[in-house]
Amino acid sequence: MDELEFRRRIYADPNTTDSDVIEAAKNNEKLRAFWNEQKALDNQLKQVLNVSVPDDLAHKLIWQQSANDLARHKHKTPWYIGLAASVAFVMGVGVMSWVNKPVSLDVHALAHMQYAQTEQAHSPLPVDLAQVNAKLASFGAEFTGMIGDVQVANYCHLNMVRSLHLIMDTPEGKMSVFIVPQRNDVDIPDSFSDTLYRGESMRMQRANVLVVGDKASDLSEVKQLISERMQFSA
């Protein structure tokens, strides 16, 4: 190995363990000196390359991950799913005060959240009248015409009561309509609200209808449409 090649090999990797490089250095003091010099420079380089790292970087990285996760989670949960939960909550409160025995509301709210979330994911297309009526049939009811832009129609359980849940897009914003069978053990207040949403209920011939929307929204138009267009079979 000539000197140039030796230098090339050492420059490329001062920590080389190649036997021909070691062999060449064995018999040549000049090459050995060069090698040692290069190793010393490498140690210095390592020191310089190891710049100081911001003290709190590790914590920041861990923090930003959980903060980001939370933001993504929030983003993924649209307000009307929160609304569905709040309806479940309101009905839970109603039923609880009526039955006068403890009901674990959080479980219902959570169950409904999960339902609504998967529902959103599974049905990206709007629902047509036939689909809504097919589901309404089990309440002995049907709509004579569409009541607006229904995006999701599916059964859900509000505190063990099987209900039909419609999520609608209206000029007043997203609204939820719940059709609940009339039962002696279910009590629904005429109107209810929490900090974000408000709802009103109507007693129809054989079902209760709840319309829930944004706190500031006007529910009357949707209520009006439903009472006009909902018919019950004899």
Partner 1 sequence: MFARNRSGSDRVLSDMKAKQKRYEALVHAFHADIYRYAYWLVKDKAIAEDIVQETFLRAWRSLDALKDENAAKPWLITILRRENARRFERKQLETVDIDDVSLHDDTQVAEGDVQDRDLHRLLGQLSVEYREPLVLQLIMGFSGEEIAQQLNLNKNTVMTRLFRARNQLKEALSQQNEIRGRHNG
User: How many CB atoms lie under 10 A from the CB of residue 109?
Assistant: 20
**Smallest separation (angstroms) from partner 1 to the CB of 73:** 11
Q: Which residue has the tokens 């009905």?
A: 91
Binding characters for partner 1, 69-108, by CB under 8 A (x = yes): x---------------------------------------
**H or E stretch at 169:** strand 161-170
Per CB under 8 A, the segment of 58-66, 73-81, 199-207, 225-233 that binds partner 1 is 58-66
Q: Are 84 and 118 in contact (CB under 8 A)?
A: no
Indicate the residue among 12 and 234 with the shorter CB distance to partner 1: 12
Cross-strand bridge partners of residue 153: 166
Cross-strand bridge partners of residue 158: 161
Q: Amino acid identity, residue 43? A: N
46 binds partner 1 (CB under 8 A): yes
4 binds partner 1 (CB under 8 A): no
11 binds partner 1 (CB under 8 A): yes
Helices then strands, counting H and E runs in the chain, come out as: 8, 8
Cross-strand bridge partners of residue 231: 142
42 binds partner 1 (CB under 8 A): yes
List residues binding partner 1 (CB under 8 A).
8, 11-14, 38, 41-42, 44-51, 53-54, 57-58, 60-62, 64-66, 68-69
